[in-house]
């Protein structure tokens, strides 16, 4: 039998792990400096927690876990008769059951499902732990999620999410904090990005002013094409989508919006003068942009009215991050939501969050060759093995290097030198230490630099110095 793994899932080998950990460690370190604290939730949640939170499409994409033990126990009819089978009775073998009856049956066979994202489990967590949590609560979470999506290039059935949220306050300083944090993360990774920001309230205001609340997505999609297809075609597309001529006329200043952020906001202020919600969105955006500009971030922060992610979910600021030097969709995104935990019976918890897409960041770093060499460094010293006596002689020195924090291995077999050197090359180990009769008598080590090919005779202390560890401080470093 040839083993395989489920489609859409991945093994991560050491070289990939080193790069992934570089990303996760960088993001985690920044999260900590911004005062975020980690939590973890179980991979399995009750289906009652998950169902109905991601729309009908999302429900279908949940991985459901079969009840353990006698999983048929709770099935209403122990023969598992399909509830809509009467009209199929004559043809049960060939007619497939309806999706409703499948859902009903799945619900009886399964009580648990795999986490679909980190937001719903976080909301559930906040409600369950409300008595322990001091608000505002800054939490981050980096864990895999699972979706029964059709696998394709760049889309997996298991992937990590890296989320940071601040809940329990509607202060706009949190938005400022998050935008600044996005900047810090991508600066640390060396990726130049543009941070696009918009506000759900501005979008609502636009829809309100032109009297077309249900056309919001059509409008943002059309505006987004201005650069490519020109004003005339944008207007034609809006008409095609059913917008009346007067609404399209009112939209013109917004479609043609340009200039500095201040100029854009001034135009919006006059266009949305009659919408209270719209004006609130403008004020919020002004506050955020003013404070961000004062911080002189490295990233460009762009007011982008075409940004319209998760319209049903976000209620205030929305963010999206795009890499400037690589063709890639958004590599990070988030926004403010007004009622995270209402669905679990705890109203009034507002929050704002950001999610980093580790897989896409990985692809950008690969494309731009930005992984630092230290990030992928493994073992630094390999002691070659000539036999049992030599190995025994080497062990205390191996031990001392390790205590100094240097990743060190002793090749375990007295194999041919060529094989041991190949191993060092395959593992990209920079130094090989050779100990034979001569070395055991002199107490010195023959150290081969695998990159330059040169050899040197060094005492263990000199080897430590070569590896940038002060011998005096080496011992006990690992304690």
Alpha helices in 386-450 (DSSP H): 388-403, 417-426, 437-442
Of 239 and 440, the one with the shorter C-beta distance to its own copies is 440
- CB of residue 178 to its own copies, shortest distance in Å: 11
Instruction: Pick the piece of the chain touching its own copies (CB under 8 A) from 75-83, 302-310, 320-328, 357-365.
Output: 75-83
Of 273 and 295, the one with the shorter C-beta distance to its own copies is 295
Question: Binders of its own copies among 179-238, rule CB under 8 A?
Answer: 180, 184, 187-188
Question: Binders of its own copies among 275-304, rule CB under 8 A?
Answer: 287, 290-291, 294-295
Question: Binders of its own copies among 124-183, rule CB under 8 A?
Answer: 124-125, 127-129, 132, 134, 136, 138-139, 144, 146, 148, 157-158, 166, 169, 171, 173-174, 176-177, 180
79 makes contact with its own copies (CB under 8 A): yes
How many CB atoms within 10 Å of residue 261?
A: 17
Instruction: Pick the piece of the chain touching its own copies (CB under 8 A) from 209-217, 226-234, 392-400, 443-451.
Output: 392-400
Residue 165 is given by DSSP the state: E
- CB of residue 174 to its own copies, shortest distance in Å: 5
Of 137 and 314, the one with the shorter C-beta distance to its own copies is 137
Of 114 and 210, the one with the shorter C-beta distance to its own copies is 114
> Distance between CA atoms of 254 and 214, rounded to whole angstroms?
18
Question: Binders of its own copies among 100-119, rule CB under 8 A?
Answer: 102, 105-106, 109-112, 114
Q: Which of 252, 274, 422, 455 binds its own copies (CB under 8 A)?
A: 422
- CB of residue 80 to its own copies, shortest distance in Å: 4
Cis geometry, peptide bond prior to residue 136 (ω within 30 degrees of 0): yes
Report the run of H or E that residue 457 belongs to, with start and end: strand 455-458
Of 24 and 313, the one with the shorter C-beta distance to its own copies is 24
Residue with tokens 């395989």: 4
Of 50 and 206, the one with the shorter C-beta distance to its own copies is 50
Of 38 and 154, the one with the shorter C-beta distance to its own copies is 38
Residue 326 is given by DSSP the state: S
Question: Binders of its own copies among 372-391, rule CB under 8 A?
Answer: 378-379, 382, 385, 388, 391
Contact 261, 195 (CB under 8 A): no
Beta strands in 326-454 (DSSP E): 332-337, 351-356, 381-383, 408-410, 431-434, 445-449
Site string for its own copies, 47-66 (x = CB under 8 A): -xx----------xx-xxxx
- CB of residue 128 to its own copies, shortest distance in Å: 6
Of 470 and 478, the one with the shorter C-beta distance to its own copies is 478
**Residue 288, CA atoms < 13 Å, CB-side half-sphere:** 32
Q: Which of 4, 90, 312, 373 binds its own copies (CB under 8 A)?
A: 4
Q: What is the DSSP string of 186-208?
A: HHHHT--EEEEEEEHHHHHHHHH
Residue 374 is given by DSSP the state: G
Burial grade of 167 (CB within 10 A; 0-12, 13-18, 19 or more): buried
Question: Binders of its own copies among 314-353, rule CB under 8 A?
Answer: 344-345
Alpha helices in 99-199 (DSSP H): 99-109, 119-128, 173-189
73 makes contact with its own copies (CB under 8 A): yes
368 makes contact with its own copies (CB under 8 A): no
Contacts of 146 (CB under 8 A, 6+ apart): 43, 63, 114, 115, 116, 157, 158
Residue 148 is given by DSSP the state: -
């Amino acid at each position: 039998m040839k083993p395989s793994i489920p489609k859409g899932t991945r093994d991560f080998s050491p070289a990939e792990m080193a790069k992934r950990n570089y990303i996760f460690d960088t993001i985690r370190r920044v999260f900590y400096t911004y005062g975020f604290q980690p939590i973890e939730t179980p991979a399995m949640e009750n289906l009652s927690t998950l169902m109905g939170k991601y729309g009908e499409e999302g429900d279908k994409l949940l991985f459901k876990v079969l009840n353990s033990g006698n999983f048929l126990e709770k099935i209403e009819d122990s023969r598992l008769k399909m509830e809509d089978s009467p009209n199929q009775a004559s043809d049960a073998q060939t007619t497939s059951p309806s999706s409703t009856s499948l859902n009903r049956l799945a619900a009886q066979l399964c009580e648990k499902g795999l986490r679909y994202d980190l937001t719903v489990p976080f909301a559930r967590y906040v409600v369950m732990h409300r008595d322990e949590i001091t608000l505002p609560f800054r939490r981050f979470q980096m864990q895999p999620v699972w979706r029964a999506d059709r696998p394709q290039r760049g889309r997996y059935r298991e992937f990590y999410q890296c989320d940071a949220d601040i809940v329990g306050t509607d202060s706009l300083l949190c938005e400022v904090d998050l935008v600044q944090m996005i900047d810090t993360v991508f600066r640390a990774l060396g990726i130049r990005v543009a941070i696009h920001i918009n506000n759900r309230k501005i979008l609502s205001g636009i829809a309100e002013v032109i009297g077309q609340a249900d056309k919001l997505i059509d409008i943002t999609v059309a505006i987004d094409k201005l650069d490519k297809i020109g004003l005339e075609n944008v207007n034609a597309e809006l008409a095609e989508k059913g917008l009346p001529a007067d609404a399209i006329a009112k939209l013109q200043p917004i479609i043609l919006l340009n200039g500095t952020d201040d100029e854009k906001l001034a135009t919006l202020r006059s266009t949305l003068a009659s919408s209270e919600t719209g004006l609130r969105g403008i004020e919020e955006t002004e506050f955020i942009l003013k404070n961000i500009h004062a911080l002189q971030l490295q990233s460009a922060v762009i007011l982008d009215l075409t940004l319209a992610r998760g319209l049903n979910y976000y209620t205030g600021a929305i963010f999206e991050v795009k890499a400037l030097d690589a063709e890639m969709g958004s590599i990070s995104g988030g926004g403010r939501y007004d009622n995270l935990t209402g669905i679990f019976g705890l109203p009034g918890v507002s929050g704002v969050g950001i999610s980093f897409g580790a897989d896409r960041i990985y692809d950008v770093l690969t494309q731009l060759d930005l992984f630092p060499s230290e990030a992928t460094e493994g073992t630094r010293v390999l002691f070659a093995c000539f036999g049992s006596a030599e190995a025994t002689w080497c062990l205390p020195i191996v031990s001392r290097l390790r205590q100094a924090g240097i990743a060190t291995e002793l090749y375990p077999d007295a194999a041919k030198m060529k094989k041991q050197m190949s191993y060092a090359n395959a593992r990209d180990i920079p130094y090989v230490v050779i100990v034979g009769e001569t070395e055991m008598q002199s107490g010195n080590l023959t150290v081969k630099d695998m990159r330059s090919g040169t050899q040197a005779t060094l005492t263990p202390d000199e080897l430590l110095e070569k590896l940038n560890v002060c011998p005096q401080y080496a011992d006990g470093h690992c304690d």
